Structure 1
Amino acid sequence: MSLQVGIIGLGMIGQDHLRRLTHTLSDVSVVAVADIDRKRAASIAPAGAELCDTPHALIRSQKVQAVVICSWGPAHEEQLLECIAVGKPVFCEKPMVTSEEGALRVMDAEVAFGRRLVQVGFMRRFDADYRALKAVIDDGSLGLPLIYRSVHRNASVPEGLYTSEMPLNDTLVHDADISRWLLNDEIAGVEVRFPRRSRQGGELRDPTIVLLHMVSGAIVDVEISVNIEYGYDIRGEVSCETGVAALPNRPATVISDRYGIRQAIPADFRERFIEAYDQEFREWIAAASQGTAAGPSVWDGYAATLVADAALRAAQSGRREAVSMKPKAGLYAETSR
């Protein structure tokens, strides 16, 4: 029997997940949807799906066994807490929540429930290239990881909608999460630097350099450039004691023609990570069908929230700002690894 899922929020990423769950993946059915724009929800809902007036109604629906949250960030906390209260597995797009206090409330609720229910949408962990890179780091053949270079480049971002804070409280969370996961480490401090401003971004403060100081002493150097024009370019390279390992450029197809030899660059995140998104949901469906969750946890969402907060402070102070995490509950002992 397929997992019966309800989706909250049908913006760009919600619609992409709806397509994935209805046309790409097996063992799942979308049986309910909810969106603040009821007309939009009605126009794209699968045939036979319940059109719920509120997220509360969807979460409480007897048809819905598991929930996918793609609403705007400030709504996530309330929706997560309600899913936990009724014991329904939930996939939540990033940001998990928008404050440290909210992250702690969600964590306390899940710990009190006694079983993992929440998976957070850090899709890079499901990408085959990142998994291969992690395998090299984990097997120890290159010695200890010392420096990780993470590059996150967008061709452009929506003018007026993407603010100068968003590289730190929105974009950075993916680089922070994948760094923690790849290096089996936590982030102890954050520095932020602003190089010469690109003319491509107008008044936007772009690009941004972030240094993540890991508990082990390793350093992660993150470049965030969001108006670089040529495409969506994600890179990663780890320098270890006896060698270097790096992500391959994607897509891997090399084109030779009268213009020379080149590799095409993905247009956006959906193209670059389409297979990772599919795998992310395959694993979520498998876990949710058993009444639980796997993959990135509330603990990981909490860590990302703290790093974003520290980065915003560092941008203001010009200093290294500390990331102070509470002790990890036993429920999350095996996560982040």
Structure 2
Amino acid sequence: MTTAETVAGVLPARTEVPATELRVAVLGVGLMGADHVARLHARISGARVVAVSDASAERAEQVAGTVPGARVVTDPLAAIADPEVDAVVIATPGQFHEEQLLACIDRGLPVLCEKPLTLDAASSLAVVRAEDAYAARTGRRLVQVGFMRRFDPEYAQLRALIASGGIGEPLLLHCAHRNAAVPPHFGSELTITDSVVHEVDVTRFLLDEEITAVTVLRPRATRHALPGQSDPLLVLLETTGGRLVDVEAFVSTGIGYEVRTEVVGEDGSAVIGLDQGLVRVGAGPRGAARSTTIAPDFRVRFGRAYDVQVQRWVDAARRGGTDGPGVWDGYAAAAVAEAGVEALRSGRRTEVRMAPREGRS
């Protein structure tokens, strides 16, 4: 019997959502999890943090101490099983996500899971199938994946522009993802699975197409690169509609956090990430000065997106649903990232292997 089955055997699956505040357990309170605890406590309505779990007892105690009434629950599966918990934020390392997600699905708990959904496509697909089975029984979806860029106003505006036909059919996407620095363990494969994976989701979000193949090129490395690391990388994504997406992934610029996306269409182009909102180039006088401000890290650049994401997740969970990228989006990102790592290792174009959607909307 699995741990998730044990949890489900102790407590029945939850079939109702709370009418009052959503009582949230946050699993993992490192950089991202602690940020979510602070966000839920100070800026999100309709929810409160009641439980905190982390591998570091000292860190869990420190973070729980910032929220009146929050308890430390050492075992994350015990936090999921707690009858006083209505919903869960998963911000633990990726290797723990599958077990924790399956336990939440067994209990019928709404989940906001930070990316990755899981560490590989096979386990992500197992989560997809588990939620599909739950949805077939109950009519409810439970899991939302933390691809926060979908909630960023600039990305939302860019998607709306594409959908409106304002620049004609999109032909190309040019993306840049730059970090000032990364930790010593952050090798080239993590550049694909931890950084480029955001551009993977952005591509699917903006173009509404799946990615079919990945090619990874290794330009001359910066002298600031970690030993053995190829930095920057140039990643080429191909989509089902024949569109091409190039991604410059440069994780040790020494400057700041820069994320840019430009869509080139038949009748014009549009770019975001210039620290001044969407800049459109087309017929007529539409010039704009460029800002020199660069965000120091992702929490500054996407702070508003995180707030919107979490508020919408809370609102949807209280209604009994989700409002954002789900398990299929997490699975698709894992499958593309897997192909990207293979392409990085081989130096060859690599096709993305994905299971059929089987009628999913």
Q: What's the TM-score once normalised by structure 2's chain length?
A: 0.87
User: Does residue 202 of structure 2 align to residue 178 of structure 1?
Assistant: yes
State the Cα distance separating 1:324 from its structure 2 match: 2.4
Distance 1:100 1:40 in 2: 31
Calculate percent identity across the aligned residue pairs. 45
Contact 1:251 1:264 survives alignment (8 Å): no
State the Cα distance separating 1:217 from its structure 2 match: 0.3
What is residue 255 of structure 1 aligned with on the other side? Answer: none
State the Cα distance separating 1:248 from its structure 2 match: 4.6
What is residue 212 of structure 1 aligned with on the other side? Answer: 237
What is residue 189 of structure 1 aligned with on the other side? Answer: 213
Distance 1:145 1:198 in 2: 32
The superposition leaves residues 167-201 of structure 1 with CA deviations (integer Å, 9 ceiling, x where unpaired) of 11211110000111101111000000000110011
Distance 2:291 2:327 in 1: 41
User: Does residue 322 of structure 2 align to residue 293 of structure 1?
Assistant: yes
Distance 2:32 2:141 in 1: 24
Contact 1:251 1:266 survives alignment (8 Å): no
Q: 1:66 and 1:202, CA in 2 relative to 1: closer, same or farther beyond 3 A? A: closer
What is residue 148 of structure 1 aligned with on the other side? Answer: 173
Q: 1:262 and 1:325, CA in 2 relative to 1: closer, same or farther beyond 3 A? A: closer
What is residue 11 of structure 2 aligned with on the other side? Answer: none
What is residue 287 of structure 2 aligned with on the other side? Answer: none
AA aligned to 2:340 is A
Contact 2:189 2:344 survives alignment (8 Å): no
User: Does residue 295 of structure 2 align to residue 266 of structure 1?
Assistant: yes
Taking the TM superposition and a 5 Å limit, the aligned residue runs for 1:199-238 are: 199-203=223-227, 204-238=229-263
Q: What RMSD over aligned residues (CA atoms) do the two structures have, in Å?
A: 1.3
AA aligned to 1:92 is C
What is residue 356 of structure 2 aligned with on the other side? Answer: 327
AA aligned to 1:33 is V
Q: 1:232 and 1:62, CA in 2 relative to 1: closer, same or farther beyond 3 A? A: same
User: Does residue 107 of structure 2 align to residue 78 of structure 1?
Assistant: no
Q: SS of the counterpart of 1:152? A: strand
Q: SS of the counterpart of 2:328? A: helix
State the Cα distance separating 1:50 from its structure 2 match: 2.2
Contact 2:175 2:260 survives alignment (8 Å): yes
Contact 2:203 2:245 survives alignment (8 Å): yes
Q: 1:125 and 1:97, CA in 2 relative to 1: closer, same or farther beyond 3 A? A: same
Q: What's the TM-score once normalised by structure 1's chain length?
A: 0.93
Distance 1:282 1:117 in 2: 16
Contact 1:194 1:208 survives alignment (8 Å): yes
Contact 1:10 1:41 survives alignment (8 Å): yes
State the Cα distance separating 1:292 from its structure 2 match: 2.2
User: Does residue 277 of structure 2 align to residue 239 of structure 1?
Assistant: no
AA aligned to 1:34 is S
What is residue 52 of structure 1 aligned with on the other side? Answer: 73
Q: Displaced runs of 4+ in structure 1, greater than 2 A?
A: none
The superposition leaves residues 70-112 of structure 1 with CA deviations (integer Å, 9 ceiling, x where unpaired) of 0000000000000000000000001110111101110110000
Contact 1:67 1:89 survives alignment (8 Å): yes
Which of 322, 339, 345 matches 1:316? 345
Q: SS of the counterpart of 1:17? A: helix
How many residues are paired up? 323
Distance 1:106 1:122 in 2: 17
Unaligned runs of at least 5 residues, structure 1: 253-260
AA aligned to 2:40 is L
Which of 158, 163, 167 matches 2:191? 167
